[in-house]
Every structure is written in C-alpha cells, then in structure tokens.
Amino acid sequence: MKIVYIMIVLLLAIQLIRPEKTNPPVDEALTLKAPDNVMKILKTSCYDCHSNETKWPWYSQIAPLSWNIIGHVNDGRDALNFSKWSEIDPKIKTKRLKRSIKTINNGMMPLSNYLMMHEAAQLSNEQKKTIIDWCNKELKKR
C-alpha cells in the first residue's frame, strides 16, 4: 500500500511544475491569408501547434502530460507559425511549404498522438490534396 501513497504524493507534487502555456497575441497583419477552404483545414488540423491560437485541451493542465503537450506546441511554433506567416523569411517559407507537402504525404503531420485525441484533425485524402495543391500554388509564386 505504501507504494500507492508514494505514487499519489509524487503525482500531486509534479503538478506544481507548470511550464507556461502561452497564446502570444496575434497580429492580423502578419497571419496567413489563404482561401477559406484551405484555412478551415489548417485551423482544424495544424493550428493547435503551428499558430498562436492554440486551443489548450483540459488534459493539458495535468502533469506529466502537460509537459509533453506544451513542448509540442512550443516546438511546433518554432518550426512553423502561421500566425507570423508574413514575417517568415521567403527561403524558410519555401522550405516549410515543401516540408508540409512531404509531412502530409507521409502522414507525419498532424502528429499521430494528437490525432488520437482530435479525430476531426485527421486529414481525408481530399483535404490532403487541398492543402498540397495550395502549397504547390504558393511555391509557384516564388
């Protein structure tokens, strides 16, 4: 029994370690502007990790899960932040667009553990095509 108490105390204790969950302010002048159908998919499937408009789920309050989720959002924003789209260096943007095509095609994005909790974020083949076509169109502009 003692081990159970120790576990409970530990679980409570780690709740005190709370890395910051942020949603930095969004400057509309910098955000990505894409056709509505593209925006809708990106907002549902990518924005929780790749924008400053993260919808934090209730379980992101609970350590140690919270650490993992906050880490993914911070890393996701560092890699690609649609809220700061027009600030991204054109060369980097080209890279991210290409990587978006690749990671959607090989099923790396959205992250699989995210999809377990966000069924709606799962991309249908049609949605994949919509995003990939848009990426290709953007790439042609460069």
CB of 45 to ligand HEC, least distance (A): 4
Pair of tokens at residue 72? 């993914």
Q: Which is nearer to ligand HEC, 63 or 110 (CB)?
A: 110
Q: Judged by CB under 6 A, which stretch of 8-16, 30-38, 54-62, 109-117 contacts ligand HEC?
A: 109-117
CB of 22 to ligand HEC, least distance (A): 15
Q: Is 100 in the site for ligand HEC (CB under 6 A)?
A: yes
Rounded alpha-carbon distances, angstroms, from residue 102 to 94, 96, 106, 136:
13, 10, 6, 11
Q: Judged by CB under 6 A, which stretch of 26-34, 60-68, 86-94, 110-118 contacts ligand HEC?
A: 110-118
CB 85 within 8 A of CB 138: no
CB of 13 to ligand HEC, least distance (A): 27
CB of 46 to ligand HEC, least distance (A): 3
Sign of the C-alpha dihedral computed for residues 56, 59, 64 and 69 taken in this order:
negative
Q: Is 114 in the site for ligand HEC (CB under 6 A)?
A: yes
- State whether residue 77 is helix, strand or coil: helix
DSSP characters over 79-133 = H--GGGGGGS-HHHHHHHHHHHHHHHHTT-SS-HHHHHH-GGGSPPHHHHHHHHH
Residues in contact with ligand HEC by the rule CB under 6 A = 45-46, 48-50, 72, 75-76, 79-80, 96, 99-100, 103-104, 109-111, 114
